[in-house]
Amino acid sequence: MTTEPTAKPTESTPTPPLDEKPFLDARAEAKSRYGRFNLAIIGSSGVGKSSLVNAVFGRDWAKVGTGLPVTRGVQYYHDESLGIWDVEGFEIGSKLSPAVQLRGHLKIISERPANEQISVVWYCVNASSARLQQPEIDMIRELDAQGLPVVLVLTKVDWTKNPITGKRDVAHALKEFVEWLEQPVDERGEPLAIPYERVILTSTTDRHGKGKGHGLGELVAETLALSPENDQDAFRIAQRLNLPWKRELARPVITAAATAAAAAAAVPIPVADAVALAPIQLGMMGRIAAIYDLEMKTMMSAGAIAQLGVQFTGQALARSAFKFIPGAGSVIGASVAFALTVATGEGWMRLCEQVHTGKLDIAKVSESWGDYAPGFLDIIRKMTIEKAAGGAGGGR
Protein backbone atom coordinates (compact mmCIF):
# COMPACT_ATOMS: atom_id res chain seq x y z
CA MET A 1 0.00 0.00 0.00
CA THR A 2 1.49 3.31 -1.02
CA THR A 3 0.83 6.61 0.60
CA GLU A 4 0.10 9.44 -1.76
CA PRO A 5 2.09 12.60 -1.11
CA THR A 6 0.30 15.53 0.44
CA ALA A 7 -0.57 18.08 -2.21
CA LYS A 8 1.18 21.38 -1.86
CA PRO A 9 -0.99 24.47 -1.97
CA THR A 10 -1.18 26.04 -5.40
CA GLU A 11 -2.72 29.17 -6.77
CA SER A 12 -5.51 27.07 -8.27
CA THR A 13 -6.52 25.46 -4.97
CA PRO A 14 -9.89 26.99 -4.16
CA THR A 15 -10.08 29.22 -1.11
CA PRO A 16 -13.10 28.45 1.05
CA PRO A 17 -15.61 31.25 1.48
CA LEU A 18 -15.14 33.47 4.52
CA ASP A 19 -17.68 34.71 7.00
CA GLU A 20 -17.86 38.51 6.92
CA LYS A 21 -19.28 38.57 10.48
CA PRO A 22 -15.92 39.15 12.25
CA PHE A 23 -15.40 42.25 10.11
CA LEU A 24 -18.84 43.69 10.74
CA ASP A 25 -18.87 42.80 14.44
CA ALA A 26 -15.42 44.31 15.03
CA ARG A 27 -16.37 47.50 13.21
CA ALA A 28 -19.57 47.83 15.24
CA GLU A 29 -17.71 47.19 18.51
CA ALA A 30 -15.08 49.79 17.64
CA LYS A 31 -17.71 52.37 16.70
CA SER A 32 -19.50 51.77 19.99
CA ARG A 33 -16.27 52.08 21.97
CA TYR A 34 -15.08 55.26 20.25
CA GLY A 35 -18.50 56.88 20.45
CA ARG A 36 -19.69 60.09 18.83
CA PHE A 37 -18.11 63.53 18.94
CA ASN A 38 -20.61 66.35 19.42
CA LEU A 39 -19.79 69.85 18.30
CA ALA A 40 -21.97 72.91 18.78
CA ILE A 41 -21.70 75.58 16.11
CA ILE A 42 -23.23 78.95 16.90
CA GLY A 43 -23.49 81.80 14.46
CA SER A 44 -25.89 83.87 12.42
CA SER A 45 -27.24 82.57 9.13
CA GLY A 46 -24.80 83.04 6.28
CA VAL A 47 -21.73 83.03 8.48
CA GLY A 48 -20.41 79.87 6.79
CA LYS A 49 -21.12 77.17 9.36
CA SER A 50 -22.05 74.54 6.79
CA SER A 51 -18.91 75.18 4.72
CA LEU A 52 -16.79 74.86 7.85
CA VAL A 53 -18.30 71.49 8.76
CA ASN A 54 -17.83 70.22 5.22
CA ALA A 55 -14.20 71.35 5.14
CA VAL A 56 -13.23 69.80 8.50
CA PHE A 57 -15.41 66.69 8.58
CA GLY A 58 -15.94 66.00 4.89
CA ARG A 59 -19.71 66.08 5.30
CA ASP A 60 -22.50 68.20 3.98
CA TRP A 61 -24.08 68.67 7.38
CA ALA A 62 -27.58 68.75 5.92
CA LYS A 63 -26.79 65.18 4.86
CA VAL A 64 -24.91 64.08 7.97
CA GLY A 65 -27.83 61.87 8.91
CA THR A 66 -30.83 62.75 10.98
CA GLY A 67 -31.68 66.43 11.08
CA LEU A 68 -33.66 66.78 14.27
CA PRO A 69 -35.33 70.16 14.90
CA VAL A 70 -35.03 70.06 18.69
CA THR A 71 -36.56 73.49 19.22
CA ARG A 72 -36.77 76.78 17.38
CA GLY A 73 -33.25 77.95 16.63
CA VAL A 74 -31.64 74.56 17.35
CA GLN A 75 -31.13 71.53 15.14
CA TYR A 76 -29.16 68.35 15.75
CA TYR A 77 -27.55 66.48 12.86
CA HIS A 78 -25.72 63.24 13.46
CA ASP A 79 -24.32 60.03 12.10
CA GLU A 80 -22.34 57.33 13.92
CA SER A 81 -19.22 59.40 14.56
CA LEU A 82 -20.30 63.03 14.49
CA GLY A 83 -23.06 65.10 16.03
CA ILE A 84 -23.59 68.74 15.09
CA TRP A 85 -25.66 71.07 17.25
CA ASP A 86 -26.59 73.95 14.94
CA VAL A 87 -27.55 76.80 17.25
CA GLU A 88 -28.88 80.03 15.85
CA GLY A 89 -26.73 83.04 16.59
CA PHE A 90 -27.69 86.55 17.59
CA GLU A 91 -30.61 87.73 15.46
CA ILE A 92 -32.19 91.16 15.81
CA GLY A 93 -35.88 91.29 16.70
CA SER A 94 -36.29 88.52 19.29
CA LYS A 95 -38.31 89.27 22.42
CA LEU A 96 -35.77 87.40 24.58
CA SER A 97 -32.15 88.39 24.94
CA PRO A 98 -29.66 86.12 23.12
CA ALA A 99 -28.17 84.94 26.41
CA VAL A 100 -31.58 83.92 27.76
CA GLN A 101 -32.45 82.16 24.49
CA LEU A 102 -29.14 80.32 24.56
CA ARG A 103 -29.61 79.30 28.19
CA GLY A 104 -32.90 77.68 27.21
CA HIS A 105 -31.29 75.90 24.27
CA LEU A 106 -28.47 74.56 26.43
CA LYS A 107 -30.94 73.31 29.03
CA ILE A 108 -32.78 71.32 26.35
CA ILE A 109 -29.50 69.89 25.07
CA SER A 110 -28.39 68.95 28.60
CA GLU A 111 -31.49 66.77 28.91
CA ARG A 112 -30.59 64.76 25.81
CA PRO A 113 -28.82 61.35 26.03
CA ALA A 114 -25.16 61.19 27.06
CA ASN A 115 -23.98 60.49 23.51
CA GLU A 116 -25.44 63.81 22.35
CA GLN A 117 -23.76 66.12 24.87
CA ILE A 118 -21.61 68.97 23.57
CA SER A 119 -17.82 68.63 23.81
CA VAL A 120 -16.65 71.88 22.21
CA VAL A 121 -18.31 75.02 20.80
CA TRP A 122 -17.32 76.92 17.67
CA TYR A 123 -18.71 80.43 17.93
CA CYS A 124 -18.59 81.75 14.37
CA VAL A 125 -18.29 85.40 13.39
CA ASN A 126 -17.93 86.68 9.84
CA ALA A 127 -14.45 88.21 9.64
CA SER A 128 -15.66 90.94 7.31
CA SER A 129 -17.77 92.44 10.12
CA ALA A 130 -14.60 92.92 12.25
CA ARG A 131 -16.71 93.43 15.34
CA LEU A 132 -18.26 91.55 18.23
CA GLN A 133 -21.56 92.92 19.48
CA GLN A 134 -22.61 92.91 23.15
CA PRO A 135 -25.29 90.22 22.63
CA GLU A 136 -22.60 87.95 21.16
CA ILE A 137 -20.33 88.60 24.12
CA ASP A 138 -23.24 87.73 26.41
CA MET A 139 -23.76 84.44 24.56
CA ILE A 140 -20.07 83.52 24.88
CA ARG A 141 -20.27 84.27 28.60
CA GLU A 142 -23.33 82.03 28.89
CA LEU A 143 -21.47 79.18 27.19
CA ASP A 144 -18.56 79.63 29.58
CA ALA A 145 -20.94 79.65 32.55
CA GLN A 146 -22.24 76.28 31.37
CA GLY A 147 -18.68 74.90 31.39
CA LEU A 148 -18.37 74.66 27.60
CA PRO A 149 -15.03 75.51 25.93
CA VAL A 150 -15.46 78.07 23.15
CA VAL A 151 -13.31 78.59 20.07
CA LEU A 152 -14.03 81.95 18.47
CA VAL A 153 -13.89 81.19 14.76
CA LEU A 154 -13.58 84.08 12.34
CA THR A 155 -14.96 82.82 9.04
CA LYS A 156 -14.57 83.85 5.40
CA VAL A 157 -11.21 85.49 6.02
CA ASP A 158 -9.79 87.06 2.87
CA TRP A 159 -6.04 86.45 2.89
CA THR A 160 -3.61 88.17 0.58
CA LYS A 161 -0.25 86.67 -0.31
CA ASN A 162 2.96 88.66 -0.62
CA PRO A 163 4.36 87.78 -4.06
CA ILE A 164 7.95 88.08 -2.81
CA THR A 165 7.92 86.51 0.66
CA GLY A 166 4.93 84.24 0.14
CA LYS A 167 3.62 85.32 3.55
CA ARG A 168 -0.15 85.57 3.96
CA ASP A 169 -1.73 88.61 5.49
CA VAL A 170 -5.17 90.05 6.24
CA ALA A 171 -6.73 93.49 6.01
CA HIS A 172 -5.68 96.12 8.54
CA ALA A 173 -9.20 96.34 10.03
CA LEU A 174 -9.21 92.60 10.71
CA LYS A 175 -5.77 92.79 12.33
CA GLU A 176 -7.04 95.48 14.66
CA PHE A 177 -10.10 93.39 15.49
CA VAL A 178 -7.97 90.37 16.38
CA GLU A 179 -5.70 92.54 18.53
CA TRP A 180 -8.77 93.86 20.33
CA LEU A 181 -10.08 90.32 20.85
CA GLU A 182 -6.80 89.31 22.45
CA GLN A 183 -7.02 92.20 24.92
CA PRO A 184 -10.60 93.45 24.77
CA VAL A 185 -11.62 96.73 26.38
CA ASP A 186 -14.93 98.55 26.51
CA GLU A 187 -15.66 102.05 25.19
CA ARG A 188 -14.14 103.54 28.35
CA GLY A 189 -10.94 101.55 27.92
CA GLU A 190 -11.77 99.20 30.80
CA PRO A 191 -10.81 95.50 30.45
CA LEU A 192 -13.65 93.39 29.07
CA ALA A 193 -14.07 89.70 29.85
CA ILE A 194 -14.81 87.57 26.81
CA PRO A 195 -14.20 83.98 27.97
CA TYR A 196 -13.30 82.17 24.77
CA GLU A 197 -10.28 79.84 24.62
CA ARG A 198 -8.74 81.05 21.37
CA VAL A 199 -9.54 83.05 18.26
CA ILE A 200 -8.77 81.34 14.93
CA LEU A 201 -8.98 82.89 11.50
CA THR A 202 -10.34 80.55 8.84
CA SER A 203 -11.41 80.27 5.26
CA THR A 204 -12.72 77.17 3.54
CA THR A 205 -11.56 78.27 0.08
CA ASP A 206 -9.11 80.80 -1.30
CA ARG A 207 -10.21 84.24 -2.47
CA HIS A 208 -11.07 82.76 -5.87
CA GLY A 209 -13.40 80.15 -4.36
CA LYS A 210 -10.92 77.31 -4.87
CA GLY A 211 -8.48 75.30 -2.78
CA LYS A 212 -8.72 74.03 0.78
CA GLY A 213 -8.68 77.35 2.59
CA HIS A 214 -6.54 78.28 5.60
CA GLY A 215 -6.60 78.04 9.37
CA LEU A 216 -8.46 74.73 9.39
CA GLY A 217 -5.50 72.73 10.72
CA GLU A 218 -5.22 75.14 13.66
CA LEU A 219 -8.94 74.84 14.28
CA VAL A 220 -8.76 71.04 14.32
CA ALA A 221 -5.75 71.00 16.66
CA GLU A 222 -7.37 73.44 19.08
CA THR A 223 -10.65 71.50 19.06
CA LEU A 224 -8.83 68.29 19.96
CA ALA A 225 -6.91 70.03 22.74
CA LEU A 226 -10.13 71.40 24.25
CA SER A 227 -12.11 68.16 23.95
CA PRO A 228 -12.69 66.03 27.05
CA GLU A 229 -10.23 63.14 27.09
CA ASN A 230 -12.98 60.56 26.60
CA ASP A 231 -14.12 62.32 23.41
CA GLN A 232 -10.75 62.86 21.76
CA ASP A 233 -10.61 59.58 19.85
CA ALA A 234 -14.13 60.18 18.56
CA PHE A 235 -12.98 63.57 17.26
CA ARG A 236 -9.89 62.05 15.62
CA ILE A 237 -12.17 59.65 13.79
CA ALA A 238 -14.81 62.21 12.78
CA GLN A 239 -12.41 64.82 11.37
CA ARG A 240 -10.98 64.40 7.88
CA LEU A 241 -7.93 66.68 7.87
CA ASN A 242 -5.33 64.94 10.02
CA LEU A 243 -4.45 61.45 8.73
CA PRO A 244 -1.53 60.89 11.17
CA TRP A 245 -4.04 60.89 14.04
CA LYS A 246 -5.87 58.03 12.40
CA ARG A 247 -2.66 56.09 11.82
CA GLU A 248 -1.82 56.50 15.51
CA LEU A 249 -5.16 54.86 16.34
CA ALA A 250 -4.81 52.12 13.72
CA ARG A 251 -1.30 50.89 14.43
CA PRO A 252 -2.01 49.52 17.94
CA VAL A 253 -4.96 47.65 16.39
CA ILE A 254 -2.58 46.09 13.86
CA THR A 255 -0.07 45.13 16.55
CA ALA A 256 -2.75 43.53 18.73
CA ALA A 257 -4.10 41.51 15.79
CA ALA A 258 -0.60 40.43 14.74
CA THR A 259 0.12 39.26 18.28
CA ALA A 260 -3.15 37.28 18.31
CA ALA A 261 -2.28 35.73 14.93
CA ALA A 262 1.16 34.75 16.20
CA ALA A 263 -0.42 33.07 19.22
CA ALA A 264 -2.85 31.20 16.94
CA ALA A 265 0.10 29.93 14.90
CA ALA A 266 2.26 29.01 17.88
CA VAL A 267 1.84 25.46 16.61
CA PRO A 268 2.75 25.88 12.91
CA ILE A 269 -0.15 25.41 10.51
CA PRO A 270 -0.02 24.37 6.85
CA VAL A 271 -0.38 27.11 4.28
CA ALA A 272 -3.55 25.38 3.09
CA ASP A 273 -5.04 26.05 6.54
CA ALA A 274 -3.94 29.66 6.73
CA VAL A 275 -7.53 30.74 6.30
CA ALA A 276 -7.79 30.08 10.04
CA LEU A 277 -6.10 33.45 10.50
CA ALA A 278 -8.84 35.21 8.55
CA PRO A 279 -11.22 35.96 11.48
CA ILE A 280 -8.39 37.72 13.35
CA GLN A 281 -7.40 39.69 10.27
CA LEU A 282 -10.98 40.50 9.27
CA GLY A 283 -11.63 41.76 12.79
CA MET A 284 -8.58 43.99 12.52
CA MET A 285 -9.79 45.30 9.16
CA GLY A 286 -13.21 46.09 10.63
CA ARG A 287 -11.66 48.10 13.47
CA ILE A 288 -9.46 50.04 11.05
CA ALA A 289 -12.50 50.75 8.84
CA ALA A 290 -14.16 52.26 11.94
CA ILE A 291 -11.13 54.49 12.57
CA TYR A 292 -11.32 55.78 9.02
CA ASP A 293 -15.05 56.31 9.46
CA LEU A 294 -15.96 54.03 6.56
CA GLU A 295 -19.47 52.60 6.57
CA MET A 296 -18.56 49.43 4.70
CA LYS A 297 -21.85 47.64 5.26
CA THR A 298 -23.88 50.19 3.32
CA MET A 299 -21.19 50.69 0.68
CA MET A 300 -20.51 47.02 -0.01
CA SER A 301 -22.62 43.88 0.15
CA ALA A 302 -21.82 41.22 2.74
CA GLY A 303 -20.61 38.96 -0.06
CA ALA A 304 -18.26 41.66 -1.32
CA ILE A 305 -16.81 42.13 2.16
CA ALA A 306 -16.27 38.38 2.46
CA GLN A 307 -14.62 38.25 -0.97
CA LEU A 308 -12.42 41.15 0.02
CA GLY A 309 -11.40 39.15 3.06
CA VAL A 310 -10.43 36.23 0.83
CA GLN A 311 -8.14 38.52 -1.14
CA PHE A 312 -6.59 40.24 1.85
CA THR A 313 -6.22 37.49 4.43
CA GLY A 314 -4.99 34.07 5.35
CA GLN A 315 -4.53 31.48 2.66
CA ALA A 316 -4.43 33.60 -0.49
CA LEU A 317 -2.00 36.12 0.95
CA ALA A 318 0.20 33.39 2.39
CA ARG A 319 0.46 31.64 -0.97
CA SER A 320 1.36 34.88 -2.68
CA ALA A 321 3.87 35.86 -0.01
CA PHE A 322 5.67 32.52 0.15
CA LYS A 323 6.79 32.91 -3.44
CA PHE A 324 8.79 35.93 -2.29
CA ILE A 325 10.19 34.57 0.97
CA PRO A 326 13.18 32.29 0.35
CA GLY A 327 13.13 29.20 2.52
CA ALA A 328 9.79 29.96 4.12
CA GLY A 329 8.62 26.39 3.65
CA SER A 330 5.03 25.20 3.49
CA VAL A 331 3.84 26.01 7.00
CA ILE A 332 3.01 29.20 8.83
CA GLY A 333 4.64 29.68 12.20
CA ALA A 334 4.16 32.45 14.73
CA SER A 335 6.65 34.86 13.14
CA VAL A 336 5.17 34.47 9.66
CA ALA A 337 1.61 34.83 10.99
CA PHE A 338 2.72 38.01 12.75
CA ALA A 339 4.29 39.34 9.54
CA LEU A 340 1.30 38.44 7.39
CA THR A 341 -1.07 40.22 9.74
CA VAL A 342 1.08 43.34 9.98
CA ALA A 343 1.28 43.37 6.18
CA THR A 344 -2.47 42.99 5.91
CA GLY A 345 -3.09 45.78 8.39
CA GLU A 346 -0.62 48.22 6.88
CA GLY A 347 -1.95 47.68 3.36
CA TRP A 348 -5.58 47.87 4.46
CA MET A 349 -4.82 51.07 6.36
CA ARG A 350 -3.29 52.62 3.23
CA LEU A 351 -6.29 51.56 1.17
CA CYS A 352 -8.71 52.97 3.76
CA GLU A 353 -6.87 56.27 3.58
CA GLN A 354 -7.43 56.39 -0.16
CA VAL A 355 -11.17 55.81 0.29
CA HIS A 356 -11.33 58.19 3.25
CA THR A 357 -9.73 61.03 1.28
CA GLY A 358 -11.91 60.39 -1.78
CA LYS A 359 -9.02 59.20 -3.95
CA LEU A 360 -10.50 55.71 -4.34
CA ASP A 361 -14.11 54.77 -5.00
CA ILE A 362 -15.32 52.24 -2.43
CA ALA A 363 -16.80 50.20 -5.28
CA LYS A 364 -13.28 49.66 -6.64
CA VAL A 365 -11.71 48.43 -3.40
CA SER A 366 -11.65 44.75 -4.40
CA GLU A 367 -10.05 45.34 -7.78
CA SER A 368 -7.50 47.74 -6.29
CA TRP A 369 -5.89 45.02 -4.17
CA GLY A 370 -3.02 44.59 -6.63
CA ASP A 371 -1.92 48.16 -6.11
CA TYR A 372 -1.25 47.47 -2.43
CA ALA A 373 0.12 43.93 -2.53
CA PRO A 374 3.74 44.97 -3.24
CA GLY A 375 3.75 46.96 -0.03
CA PHE A 376 2.57 43.88 1.83
CA LEU A 377 5.31 41.70 0.38
CA ASP A 378 8.01 44.25 1.14
CA ILE A 379 6.96 44.28 4.80
CA ILE A 380 6.86 40.49 4.98
CA ARG A 381 10.28 40.13 3.35
CA LYS A 382 11.76 42.75 5.68
CA MET A 383 10.39 41.08 8.79
CA THR A 384 11.56 37.67 7.61
CA ILE A 385 15.07 39.01 7.00
CA GLU A 386 15.06 40.62 10.45
CA LYS A 387 13.96 37.35 12.00
CA ALA A 388 16.73 35.43 10.22
CA ALA A 389 19.22 38.00 11.51
CA GLY A 390 17.85 37.69 15.02
CA GLY A 391 16.20 41.10 14.92
CA ALA A 392 12.62 39.87 15.23
CA GLY A 393 13.11 38.46 18.70
CA GLY A 394 12.20 35.05 20.00
CA GLY A 395 8.77 36.10 21.23
CA ARG A 396 7.21 35.96 17.81
On whether the CB atoms of residues 305 and 365 are closer than 8 A, the answer is no
pLDDT at 149 over 90: yes
The average pLDDT across 104-120 equals 95
Q: Provide the pLDDT confidence category of residue 67 given band limits of 50, 70 and 90.
A: very low
pLDDT digits (tens, 9 = 90+) for 224-250: 999 999 999 999 999 999 999 999 999
Q: Which of 2-11, 116-125, 288-297, 330-339 has the highest mean pLDDT?
A: 116-125
Q: Could you tell me the residue ranges of all domains in the chain?
A: 36-238, 242-388
Q: What pLDDT, on a 0 to 100 scale, did the predictor assign at position 56?
A: 93
3-state secondary structure the chain: CCCCCCCCCCCCCCCCCCCCHHHHHHHHHHHHHHCCEEEEEEECCCCCHHHHHHHHHCCCHHHCCEEEEEECCEEEEECCCEEEEEEECCCCCCCCCHHHHHHHHHHHHHCCCHHHCCCEEEEEEEHHHCCCCHHHHHHHHHHHHCCCCEEEEEECCCCEECCCCCCEECCHHHHHHHHHHHCCECCCCCECCCCCCEEEECECCCCCCCCCCECHHHHHHHHHHHCCHHHHHHHHHHCCCCHHHHHHHHHHHHHHHHHHHHHHCCCCEEHHHHHHHHHHHHHHHHHHHHHCCCCHHHHCCHHHHHHHHHHHCHHHHHHHHHCCCCCCCCEECHHHHHHHHHHHHHHHHHHHHHHHCCCCCHHHCHHHHHHHHHHHHHHHHHHHHHHHCCCCCCCC
Q: Provide the pLDDT confidence category of residue 8 given band limits of 50, 70 and 90.
A: very low
Q: What is the pTM of this model?
A: 0.82
The average pLDDT across 288-293 equals 92
Q: Provide the pLDDT confidence category of residue 198 given band limits of 50, 70 and 90.
A: very high
What is the percentage of the chain residues whose pLDDT exceeds 70? 70
pLDDT at 352 over 60: yes
What is the percentage of the chain residues whose pLDDT exceeds 90? 42
Architecture of domain 36-238: 3-Layer(aba) Sandwich (3.40)
Task: With CA atoms as reference, report the closest residue to 281 among 14, 23, 27.
Answer: 23
